[in-house]
Amino acid sequence: MTRWLVDGMNVIGSRPTGWWRDRPRAMRELVKELDRLGEPVTVVFDGRPFELDDTGRVEVRFASRRGPNAADDDIAALAAESAEPLRVVTSDGALAERVRRSGAEVVGAGTFRARLDELG
């Protein structure tokens, strides 16, 4: 089965829902939505780590450093190291190019967001 590798803040930021007023809540909500996929998922967020509910199917990671492209660099490294097939979710063109070079399929954040919405 193909693992989803999700650029978390890219998906959250794909719609103007007011997520910026409460980033931790937006992250928690995304993790719950990702769990409904019923498929293996790793989501990488920017920012300071905090406790999120363990869903069992969703592996949550926070960028290993602060600063520009921190999560992108971690996602690219995960894609390069992965022995399993990956679908990387991002609308960041530079990140998409990097992970494609590692053999990953790329799905745009808006397309993926629509898929999550269909799951209810």
Q: Which domains does the chain have, with CATH numbers?
A: 3-119 (3.40.50)
pTM: 0.92
Q: Return the ∠ at Cα 6 (arms to 13 and 103), rounded to 5°.
A: 130
Q: Return the ∠ at Cα 71 (arms to 114 and 35), rounded to 5°.
A: 40
Distance between CA atoms of 48 and 43, rounded to whole angstroms?
Answer: 14
CB-facing half-sphere around the CA of 94: CA atoms within 13 A: 5
In order of 4, 118, 120, the CA distances from 44 in angstroms are 11, 22, 22
Distance between CA atoms of 59 and 96, rounded to whole angstroms?
Answer: 21
pLDDT in tens, the chain (120 residues): 799 999 999 999 988 888 889 999 999 999 999 999 999 999 999 988 888 876 678 999 999 999 989 999 999 999 999 999 999 999 999 999 999 999 999 999 999 999 999 987
